[in-house]
Amino acid sequence: MKANLFLSFVFVVLLSACGDDAPSISKLASDAVILAFGDSLTHGNGAKENESYPAVLQELTGRKVINAGISGEESEPGLNRLPGLLEQHKPQLLILCHGGNDLLRKKDINKMESNIRNMIQLAKDKNIPVVMLGVPKPGLFLSSFEVYKKIADSMKVVFIEDLIPDVLGDNGLKSDTVHPNKDGYRVMAETINSVLRESGAI
């Protein structure tokens, strides 16, 4: 089941990235740093530290992946935190998964959108490509919240739209209603790794 689900994720993601206008990612150097930035979904709540998606992604890519996830963080403090991390780690790639706590707490969606756009712009200003993961509204795990696709399309970033909703829609891949378990995080890492390889980044 897990293998079939993973392959279906990869097929959908790669099919959606085949257009001429699809954002590209330059090949990452063997000593490149990838910054995985976000909240508890990045931190790895529901699994051990070495089972989070950044930890597994580091194994799969052979690149250093910094887990910069903070549980419970909303997008505004996230935006304030990101510049220091970009300066400190000088990543060659940013994987962005943020806004879930804004949705959970029913914060201003326009403000959340602005914060995420500004996070992406901070990376772009440093010529750091961005891979963004879509996040669903709590309780509705059929698709990512529509604002993420709007951001991805207008800001030309690689977008993995329904990975998290599909993981959280499978009881065998989640630890609670809003967090994957170790198998779910592995599916996330494997899918991201496949997208990076297909794009030529790895």
Distance CA 33, CA 154 (A): 26
Residues 6+ apart with CB under 8 A from 27: 200, 201, 202
Mean pLDDT taken over the chain: 90
149 vs 4, 44, 140, CA distance in Å? 25, 24, 16
pLDDT per residue over 48-102, tens digit each?
999 999 999 999 999 999 999 999 999 999 999 999 999 999 999 999 999 999 9
Q: Quick one: pLDDT at residue 22?
A: 61
pLDDT at residue 140 is higher than 50 = yes
Model confidence pTM above 0.95: no
Instruction: Read off the pLDDT band of 9 (50, 70, 90).
Output: low
The pLDDT of residue 150: 97
CA end-to-end distance (rounded Å), the chain: 27
Q: Which CATH superfamily is domain 26-199 in?
A: SGNH hydrolase (3.40.50.1110)
Helix H or strand E segment including 53: helix 53-61
* 1-10 mean pLDDT: 48
